[in-house]
Every structure is written in C-alpha cells, then in structure tokens.
Amino acid sequence: MTEPRERAVALGPGRSLVAIVTTPVPAPPPVRPVIVVLNAGVIHRVGANRVNVGMSRALAREGFVTCRFDFSGIGDSEPRQGVLDLNESVRLDIADVLGHLAGTHRARSFALVGLCSGANHAFRYAVGDPRVRAAVLIDPAAFPTFGHRLRYYGKRALRLRSWWNVLRGRNLVVRAGVRRIRQGFKPDPDPMADGASIAPTRNEMRDGLRALIARDVELLVVYTGGVEVIYNYRRQFHDLFPEEARSPRVRVEFRPESDHTFSAERHKRWLIDLVTGWSGKVAAGPAAGSGQPGPPIGVTTQSVT
C-alpha cells in the first residue's frame, strides 16, 4: 500500500473547524467506518506527545480514512458562535465533522477515538448517534470501588511521609475527615451533578454502555497508571460494570506502567499497536447505524506539507 495522503480541511459553520483527513491509497470501500480522533482538553489535534498523529497514520495504513480535528476555540479552530454550553458545542463539532465525512467520503459509519475528556465526549456522542459503530475510550471517567480505595489508601499508608503529615495535621485524608465531622457528616457536593460536566456519572455511563452494546457497538476501553486517583487495578471496570464488562463487544485494557499522556515512546507505540490491531475487528464487522448521513458540507482544502 502506498503511504497515506493527508489534507487540511476547513469545515462547519463559516468553515471555522480545522481538521486533518488522512486517506489510504488506494481508497477503502465506503462500507468501512471512518475513524475520527478527538483532541483532549486544550491540546490541539496532534494529541499528547503527537499520539493522535501516529495513531491516525497507522490506522490509515490499515486501510481506514481517519480524521483528527480541533474542537471550536482550540488550536486552529475558531470559537463557535452562539453556543455557550461546552457539551453542546462539542456535540455540534463532532456532528459537523461526521457530516462532512459522510458527504466527501460516502461514510456510512464511524468510529470515535478519545483520550481523557476526549474519551468522555466520544462516549456521550456515540450513545446519541446510531452511525457510530465503534469507540476507543482512553482514560475515560471511572469511579471508586472498595478495591480502588483499598489500594489507593493502602499504598499511601506505607509511606513514612504520609504518617509524618498525619502527625503534623497536614494529611489530606485526615483533614477531610475533620471537615466532615465539623459539617455533621453532611455529604460533599457531587462533582458530577452539574449537567454541564464533561464526565458522565456512573449511572449515565452504565446506561450508555448498555445502549451501545445493544446496538452492537465495539468498545475498546483503556486505562493507564496516570489516572490512579480514579482507576488503579485491572478489574476495576468489571467491578463497576459487571454485566457490561462481560459483553463480547467490550474489551478493557490496563497499562499501569504508562502515564496519562503516553510520554514514553514504548507506551505510545503500545497504544498505537493496540488500537490498530483492534481495528481489524471493526473492519470485519457488519455496517451498523440506522441514521442517514447528512448532506455534504461545503469545505475548502489544502495540501499538508
């Protein structure tokens, strides 16, 4: 196969969104899903340590059209006018990108890839769009379990510095306990209670997983050691969502030796190899999604140097 081609594309309302579309040579059949890689936080479309670039090009060599783009107001994309809610802005951005790809590449289905906040955005969008038939969620939302707390606090209990902080009244856990006593054990506010939160709640994630599994959406969920504050052992996902984790549509991987941004080359290579290997399962599956792609959206293109 010839090396993939890359083009910069301006799309969306006012052509305000900037994306890089990577196309295999020769072009794949339209029945194969187009893979869209989302940026995380304020990091633009190259991704942390350029992982999005490497992943997009590796997937293109496997025969997938890939697209990585900047959300509105990030990187080269202009802010979206008239939309104040972050989740709504992100939803509209993804819909514009998928609409463009449906028109220019005759895409019938899609796969979404996201890290951190990008994973949570990918999850939420996938639940609402039947054209999405696969998703890679890297360090998405997670929630404490007994096993998580045992490992998290047990690890800290073995550190001499932690006990020294206890004696000096500087230990955060002790201070939180004192605060609870003073409050009469009133529960702390739920950080996920705000409807505008990027991360789904545990119930929302459970219900979303069930909806995706019912649609035969393939899911690859990856956690790293860089998010031990929310995820720190291999079977935590299974303990959180036992029924959903047993589905053959769900694959969960844990890489405790990697940090959150895959700064070590060997960890970045592991992630790219994992996703490209898993993509074969996506390519082999039946085309999914009853939703009809939207009409082509006007774009301008230019070559990438």
pLDDT digits (tens, 9 = 90+) for 38-71: 999 889 999 999 999 999 999 999 999 999 999 9
Task: Compute and round to an integer the Cα radius of gyration of the chain.
Answer: 21
Q: Reply yes or no on whether the pLDDT at 206 is more than 80.
A: yes
Query: Pick from 290, 277, 291, 132: which is nearest to 218 by CA?
Result: 132
State the pLDDT at residue 302: 41
Q: Reply yes or no on whether the pLDDT at 181 is more than 70.
A: no
Pairing of strands 132-138, 218-224: parallel
Confidence class for position 82, pLDDT limits 50, 70, 90 = confident
| CATH class entry, domain 2-145+202-303 | alpha beta
Which string of DSSP letters, residue by residue, matches 41-63?
Answer: TT--TT-GGGHHHHHHHHHHHTT
Return phi, psi of residue 3, to 5°: -60, 140
The label of the residue with tokens 């303990």 reads 239
Confidence class for position 228, pLDDT limits 50, 70, 90 = very high
pTM beyond 0.75: yes
CA dist 157 and 154 (Å) reads 5
Q: What is the mean pLDDT of residues 179-196?
A: 46
- Domain residue spans of the chain: 2-145+202-303
pLDDT digits (tens, 9 = 90+) for 12-45: 989 999 999 999 988 777 788 999 999 998 899 9
Confidence class for position 250, pLDDT limits 50, 70, 90 = very high
CA dist 44 and 238 (Å) reads 32
